[in-house]
Structure 1
Amino acid sequence: MSELSTTEHALLGAPHQYLTPLNRPTLEESLAWCSELTRSHYENFHVATIFVPKHARQHFDNIYAYCRVADDLGDEVADRAVALRLLDAWGSMLDECYDAPERSMHPVFVALRETIRTCDLPRQLFHDLLIAFRMDQVKTEYETWDELLEYSHYSANPVGRLVLLVCGYRDEPTALLSDKVCTALQLANFWQDVVEDEQRGRRYLPAESMVRFDVDEGQIAGRVFTPEFGAMIRDLVIRTRKMLAEGGEITGHVDRELAVTLNLFRKGGDAILDGIVAQDYDVLRGRPVVSKAKKLSLLGGSLLEKLRSRMLR
């Protein structure tokens, strides 16, 4: 990915690869920038886009690039005050993309403007994601399940809704099913990453669950697994799996091709939960992972589903 130059429009203090270029890139250059960022940062997302309609793939890359840069502005910048300033600047650049797109200088917004225009995407969904990234800077512990649902409303659900809009689905009942899948995926990642999050000074395990199952916060830092801790994670996994299954009904509300993609993400969430169960809920001894064999199985199954859906057209 080509380096960008620093100007008065740059995100000063941001990782160097995200600085705004001196000259406004062309649309073609911007689209390529977003696609390269997607390929280089998130293999699973890039692979999943193979299963979406061809006309939507570039839009997915543009949306992912917006999310990836915003996430890194929050997580890859050590100074919290600088991170918050950069997220505010990113939000201002988003508004400029909507209100005066000819002034956009960053390749993400030059490319994203085409997706926004073509798919008629509301700006609030993009701003909601920034709310979540700001929350990560100021809120490091969660007290209740409902607080986690609120966080997921901003951190995960907008992505699912954007995917639906790009694919032409604008009805609220379908979007609500998407919300359940996205929230469940976010929660599954929390239960998978308990140790990594603790090392970053964050705790997403709800305090109310810790109290209910008599789990002490020191157990996370000390990696002290007990039957009580296992019972707590088991309860969280069961609740998350139920939500994932309820949201999975979305596949009956969309076309076969998109259903294959959504099924892949849902099955990926189930696979994460299966990995936690396979460790007897001991997420403190190491991060539960989805094996390469399991990933290949999921992808192979999705490919067969995609081919079948095309044959049935």
Structure 2
Amino acid sequence: MLYSAPMHDSHHRAEQDSLKLANSHYENFPVASVLLPMRLRRAIGVIYAFARNADDFADEGDLPPEQRLALLDGYRKQLDRIAAGETPEEPLFIAVAAIIREHALPIQLFHDLLDAFSQDVVKKRYENLGELMDYCRRSANPIGRLLLHLYKETDERNLAYSDAICSSLQIINFLQDVAIDYKKDRIYIPQDDLRKFRISEQQIANGDAGGNWWMLMQFEIERTRRLLQAGAPLGLVLKGRIGLEMRSIIAGGETILRKLHRSHGDMFNHRPVLRPWDWAYILYRAVRAK
């Protein structure tokens, strides 16, 4: 039987540190947003801190691949301790164990995230959309599914909506970060799309938005917008503050896509970010949505 143990001071400090870490990685989309019910912010902060910490193992610094993979394996061992009912060794995992018990979260979703981050260490190109979507299934969709478990809204329809939203947001991030990812020797635009529009890796390396680049980006933007719209009904299915939060996230993704479209996909010189006035419009859209 799952239960929530009393929260000791060390557990509370671990969770507070996790929330600070999650918010320090904030960029385009809210983390533990003020729109969410207070009772859920702690758990959401822990989930995002776990994801960002593990993602940094794959992305940040100058460690060789084998050390990055070893760090991620260390996280797997901590999850295994939790699954076995043992006490974790690290403060972050004390917090992870607490929210898993309190909210009956599937531990496999945490493992899926680690699998995706490990893949980032060794896989730098994606042949087609199917390969990319399989990556998104593990890199992004688990976050949405964990949130739905927190909300107690995990019917199959909602899970499908959430997967569409999370995968589209992941791809939106790839589209706005083409230049940044290339510096890490990663290209997330499918290789068959690059060939279709006759875009070479050298053009990406040069930051060249000429030639067929806009045609390629228009194709990627529209396909991603359709995916985001496929999940958009979730913003109306979820009620109250969590629905408002979801509609804000969806509107944020739409705004980034519009900015990409407006610049003809030239994220090399006009990387889209959300400004304060964008957030005001996003909140207006979220409140007015029916």
TM-score by length of 1: 0.84
Alignment partners' CA distance in 2, 1:62 and 1:140: 28
Structure 2, unaligned runs of 5 or more = 1-7
Give deviations 1:16-58, integer Å, cap 9, x for gaps.
xxxxxxxx97212222221222233326655652111221111
Q: Is the 8 A contact 1:144 1:208 kept in 2?
A: yes
Whether 2:12 is the aligned partner of 1:28: answer yes
Check the 8 A contact 1:195/1:287 in 2, yes or no: no
Q: Identity of aligned pairs, percent?
A: 33
Amino acid in structure 1 at the alignment position of 2:275: S
1:122-173 per-position Cα deviation (integer Å, ceiling 9, x unaligned): 1110000001100100000111111111110010000000000011112122
AA partner of residue 213 (structure 2): F
Report the residue type matching 1:108 in the other structure: L
Partner in structure 2 of residue 242 of structure 1: 226
Q: Is the 8 A contact 1:25 1:106 kept in 2?
A: no
Matched, 1:96 2:81: yes
- C-alpha distance in 2 between matches for 1:138 and 1:233: 26
Query: What is the rounded CA distance, in whole Å, between the counterparts of 1:45 and 1:244 in structure 2?
Result: 14
Helix, strand or coil at the partner of 1:62: helix
Match of 1:292? 276
Q: Is it true that 1:270 corresponds to 2:270 in the alignment?
A: no
Q: Secondary structure at the match of 2:133?
A: helix
Counting matched residue pairs gives: 282
The aligned counterpart of 1:216 is 200
Q: Are 1:52 and 1:261, in contact at CA under 8 Å, matched by a contact in 2?
A: yes
Amino acid at match of 1:145: L
Distance 1:292 1:143 in 2: 37
| Cα separation, 1, equivalents of 2:271 and 2:34 | 28
Matched, 1:229 2:213: yes
Moved over 3 A (4+): 43-48, 299-302
> Is 2:168 aligned against 1:192?
no
| 1:164 corresponds to 2:148 | yes
Q: What's the CA shift for 1:218?
A: 1.1
Query: Contact 1:56/1:166 (CA < 8 Å) preserved in 2?
Result: yes
Alpha-carbon distance change, 261 to 147 in structure 1, aligned in 2, over 3 angstroms: same
Tell me how far 1:117 sits from its aligned partner. 0.8
Distance 1:135 1:47, change over 3 A: closer
Structure 1 stretches of 5 or more lacking a match?
1-23
- Judged with a 3 Å threshold, the aligned counterparts in structure 2 of structure 1 residues 272 and 61 are, in CA distance, closer, same or farther, namely same
RMSD (CA atoms): 2.1
Q: Is the 8 A contact 2:30 2:249 kept in 1?
A: no
| Higher deviation after alignment, 76-85 or 124-133 | 76-85
